[in-house]
Amino acid sequence: MRFRRGLGRAAIGVAISIVALFIVGRSVDVAAAWETLKTADPRWIVALLAFVVLDVLLRALRWRVLLSPLAAVPYGTALASLLVGYLANNVLPARLGEVVRSHDLGTRTGLSRSMILGTIVIERIVDTMVVVSIAAVAILVLSVRGIVASAVLVGFALTSLLVVGVAVGIYAHRLPGAERVREFLGRWPRVRHVLVRLRDGLAVASNVRPMLIAVALSVASWSCTVLAFAAAAQAVGVEPTLGQAALLAAGTNLATAVPAGPGYVGTFELAAVTIAHSVGIDREPALAFAILVHLATLAVTSIGGAVAFVAGPRRQRAAVLEPDAAPIPAEARASDR
């Protein structure tokens, strides 16, 4: 049954990608975009790759900071698992790479995979909050209206719901009726163990210093993404303003939240062309530099992920800082490994 559901979601994602590519093909002179792409300046492409690499390095550091209240994970280990997760996102639908990332780090360090997944949830929320903020500021500066502005407002609403959901998850054990739920889950110690460890991971959000550092690193990493878009645009002869590059970077990445085929093919390009047109950039060069950014990102994360995967999960047990949690039976404690 799960396999069929997975195939169904994958089929829907591929269908959405095909529709997105069809819309791009109908609205853009693809031949002209290809000719523009062939004239791309190699020097700006090198700059683009450098910004993408720096972006990934900052994201690995951010994840390590979020893990720090729970365990002392070496930076290289966090980077390797992050890249493996990105590689999985490039070939699997529905962001399943996040699950792969938690499994990989658990294998490398011996940490609870559920606890790791909790930190990834917090990371994604911080990431979304920052990118929505960047998009909102860019929209105000550029006075953009229509579907682009509406999409950012939807992103803000969804982020608010996620924040509320995480708060409930962290403090669920203090809510009325929590004791009854705890007794009920006692019938399934493995499930209870997974939920407790997931709560431990989510609880990193209550640590002020790591969260502030994570937000600062998110701003830095998204600045690299903005500069990557600017470099790609310069490579094909477009000189975007900082506001335009920021809106393109934020908007295209928000579009990756839409279920699509592996690697977000189609939805990424459609978002870039739509946003570029809304700020006065022609669709053909917009498609050309969107392809450059997309290929550079896929290349860096896929090659890095493949190297990390081939190198293998060399067991390096992290120094765990155990959070407060109810005692777990030994058989349940081992079930999440």
pTM of the model: 0.83
Q: What ranges in 203-315 are assigned the alpha helix state H? A: 208-235, 242-255, 267-278, 283-311
Of 248, 327, 330, nearest in space to 290 by CA: 248
> pLDDT confidence of 263, banded at 50, 70, 90?
confident
User: What phi and psi values does residue 55 have, to the nearest 5 degrees?
Assistant: -60, -50
Kindly give the interhelix angle for 97-109 and 113-142, rounded to the nearest 10 degrees: 140
Q: Is 90 exceeded by the pLDDT of residue 145?
A: no
Q: What is the pLDDT of residue 288?
A: 96
Q: What is the DSSP letter of 261?
A: S
Please give the share of the chain, as a percent, with pLDDT higher than 90: 50
Residue 332 pLDDT: 38
**What pLDDT shows up at residue 276?**
92
Residue 71 sits at φ, ψ, to 5 deg, of -165, 150
Q: Distance between CA 196 and CA 182 in Å, rounded?
A: 10
Average pLDDT of the chain is: 82
C-alpha closest to that of 276 among 129, 144, 125, 80 = 144
Confidence category of residue 265, pLDDT binned at 50, 70, 90:
confident
What is the total count of domains within the chain?
Answer: 1
What pLDDT does residue 13 have? 73
Report yes or no: 250 and 156 within 8 Å, Cβ to Cβ: no
**Partners of 319 in the β-ladder:** 72
Burial class (CB in 10 A: 0-12, 13-18, 19+), 20: buried
Domain that holds residue 59: 2-333
Query: For the segment 15-65, what is each residue's pLDDT rounded down to a tens digit?
Result: 888 888 899 999 999 999 999 999 999 999 999 999 999 999 999 999 999
